[in-house]
Amino acid sequence: MNKSTSDNPIEKQVREHLEASLRRLGTDHVELYYLHRINPAVPVEHVAGPMGKLIREGKIRGWGQSQSTPDQIRRAHGITPLSAIQSEYSIMERMFEADVLPLCQELNIGFVAFSPLASGFLSGKVRPGDKYQGDDVRRVITRFAPENVQANQPLVEMLQRFAEAKGATPAQVSLAWMLAKWPFVTPIPGARTTERIEENLSAADVELAPGELDVLEQELAKIPIHGNRTDEDIMKLRELLQR
């Protein structure tokens, strides 16, 4: 038996957060509403049910999870179909290729890739001596430690070779690889300048033929990646900023 909103604290909390967002945004609905981190103490079904109600009420058009496991995706999707999964994915972080991406393909769920350029590492412009300040997450991502920047240069050099052959930039090749490999993946690269936005958008014009994609995959298989992914290090930044 479904609980009423007043009897279901999870539904009450989800609804209150959404209503507050709608007031701030000055709108009556949002297109995609995310559960950005999954609380292991709260079954995903307890969130999926309320999300379904919000969809039926027209307050959200769809919902998604972030950094979820295949089991969590299947269980939630069985209650209220998911529109998207958002997790870190790039040439430097490919762990979700093993199970989450194939599952999204199977269930017709979109995948939103955050940090698709590995916090700028795949631009090819990062140097071992670079310094980062304030809330810049690169302060704590171990890939940006000088020794790891140096150790990951074979990847950058490989991308630069591909980029030169395609008349593109390493960042564009990185995004084109993702788009060619998984048509249902939408990368969301960050950008602080108009120039970077235009560069990222132009990645859609860089075509990788099946043979080129195969060669790129073969080269990637030979190159180990040094340092942790963003989500493994983000808590360190929070602790650092609280000091």
The pLDDT of residue 243 is above 80: no
Cα–Cα distance for residue pair 112/119, rounded to 1 Å: 15
Strands (E) located in 37-114: 60-66, 84-88, 110-114
Sign of CA dihedral 44, 47, 52, 58: negative
What is the pLDDT at residue 141?
87
Q: How confident is the model at residue 225, as a pLDDT?
A: 94
Helix or strand (DSSP H, E) at 75: helix 70-79
Could you tell me the pLDDT band of residue 240, with boundaries at 50, 70 and 90? low
Determine contact, residues 224/95, Cβ cutoff 8 Å.
Answer: no
The first and second tokens of residue 98, run together, are 């093993």
Q: What are the residues facing 86 on neighbouring strands?
A: 66, 112
Q: Beta 84-88 vs 110-114: how paired, if at all? A: parallel
pLDDT digits over 37-90, tens only?
888 899 999 999 999 999 999 999 999 999 999 999 999 999 999 999 999 999
Query: Mean pLDDT, to the nearest integer, of 98-114?
Result: 96
Q: Structure pTM? A: 0.87
- DSSP assigned state of 63: E
* Amino acid at site 89: Y
Burial class (CB in 10 A: 0-12, 13-18, 19+), 22: middle
Q: pLDDT tens digits for 165-215? A: 999 999 999 999 999 999 999 999 988 899 999 999 999 999 998 899 999
